[in-house]
Amino acid sequence: MNQRYDPKVLALICTYCTYTAADMAGSMRLQYPSNVRVIKLLCTGKVDVLYLLEAFRSGADAVMVSGCEIGDCHFLEGNLRAKERVAHARTLLAEVGLEPDRLEMFHIGASDAPKWAQTVDMMTRRALELGPNPLRLRAGAEQTKELEVRT
Amino acid sequence: MIVAERKGFEEIAASLSGFRKVLVVGCGTCVAVCLTGGEKEAGLLAAQLDMAAQLAGRDQVFEVACVERQCDREFLDELAARAPEFDALLSLACGAGIQFLAERYDEIPVLAGVDTTFIGVNDNVGVWEERCRSCQSCLLSTTGGICPVALCPKGMLNGPCGGTADGQCETDPERACAWTLIYERLSRTGRLENLARLVPLRDNARASLPGRRTHPAYQRRYSAHA
């Protein structure tokens, strides 16, 4: 059975800025790929490196963390901490042999709906270019034995 | 506290080849504070090892446990029910904890996931610095609370060497000369006369054997005639 590769992009985003931007993108009827799965957090400072690794173990093809613009965090430095943790998680991914580019940190302000749409589009295209997360392949091996990779 | 750093991932993964079921054992005291071997770091390492094994097509299972202190028998006992299910234990404790874990579960291979580096202080968030060599003959009362054994690369005990220049060490222009720091601190606290006292040669015989100490209150309990 052939199955189309439909990337799963997980977005861990803060409620104050990026989520507001995503909400506004909906109000503005902006189009972006439906591959993104959003998890809303009070602050990206809540993002733990373990969450990020767990996302890939669970089969996410790409993970984006997006918080407020630098200097705009409601909790002062949550987005800065997230930035450091994402950088650390990328080194851990590289150690195990998974492409670090599957994970990226962004800063999207509350009024920047177009940037949200562009970023989701960019991460979805990146996930398509990188191909399916091999861990996802293993996890769902019986369903995805013959993948047709759409690029 | 004791400061350690995680071994390279490839070294850890290579040491575990041939073991199917591995328990990653964190330690909740020093190595947890220095963000190397606590519960979270054990979880991270187990997740990484699991991902690497899956990517390489190896059939391995990694689980996580964390005890309060691996250098205390009472805490190691907590693993008694679980440990026998595993082919190997990967300890993230300091060298003392790893050895005590291996002694407690001596029928199971115990492997080291960290390199123990020094006894130090938390200088800043995520930064630790060595301050003590546990030399068993503390000079800090006379040296103004600054240890020349740990901080001077040459371990000079009676004043600086000829390599000190403008308060910096000749081995590294970024490093302050420990004896300049000692002089300044003693000067500020009016104790410069301490510098005139010669520190006797260190009794290295004490350091040549593994230390063992019994608290005076317990000496009777452990004496031959108890």
Whether A140 is covered by a domain: the verdict is no
Domain count, chain A: 1
Domain ranges of chain B: 2-118, 135-205
Residue A74 falls within a domain, yes or no? yes
Q: Indicate whether A145 belongs to any domain.
A: no
CA nearest to A59 within chain B: B51
pLDDT at B16: 97
pLDDT in tens, A134-146: 998 666 554 444 4
In chain B, count of helices (H) and strands (E)?
8, 9
Q: Which amino acid is at A90?
A: R
Label the pairing between strands A62-67 and A103-107: parallel
Residue A151 has pLDDT above 70, yes or no: no
**B96 min Cα distance to partner chain A (Å):** 27
- Give, rounded to a whole angstrom, the gap between the first and last alpha carbons of chain B: 34
pLDDT in tens, B26-72: 999 999 999 999 999 999 999 999 999 999 999 999 999 999 999 99
User: What pTM value is reported for the model?
Assistant: 0.90
pLDDT at position B209, please?
A: 80
What are the chain B neighbours of A95 within 8 Å (beta carbons)? 9-10, 48, 52
Structure tokens at A90: 């990328």
Task: Check if the beta carbon of residue B113 is closer than 8 Å to that of residue B124.
Answer: no
- Which residue out of A47, A80, A85, A95 would a mutagenesis test of the B interface target, given it has the greatest number of B Cβ atoms within 10 Å? A95
Average pLDDT (B17-25) is: 97
pLDDT score at B65: 98
Q: What is the mean pLDDT of residues B112-123?
A: 97
Domain-located, residue A149: no
| Residue pLDDT, tens place only, A32-61 | 999 999 999 999 999 999 999 999 999 999
Mean pLDDT estimate for chain B: 95
Q: How confident is the model at residue B136 (pLDDT cuts 50, 70, 90)?
A: confident
Q: Which fold has domain B2-118?
A: Rossmann fold (3.40.50)
Mutation site, A96, A99, A138, interface B, largest B CB count within 10 A? A96
Judge whether residue A90 has pLDDT over 70.
yes
Indicate whether A138 belongs to any domain: no
Q: What is the ipTM of this complex?
A: 0.86
The token pair at B225 is 């005639």
Q: What is the mean pLDDT of residues A8-19?
A: 97
Bridge partners of A106? A66
Residue A146 within a domain: no
What H or E segment, with its residue span, contains residue A52? helix A49-57
pLDDT at B148 over 90: yes
Reported as a single tens digit per residue, the pLDDT across B170-222 is 999 999 999 999 999 999 999 999 999 998 888 777 777 888 889 999 999 99
Instruction: Indicate which CATH number applies to the domain containing A54.
Output: 3.40.50
Rg (CA), chain B: 22
Q: Is A47 inside any structural domain?
A: yes
Domain that holds residue A63: 8-131
What is the pLDDT averaged over residues B80-87? 97
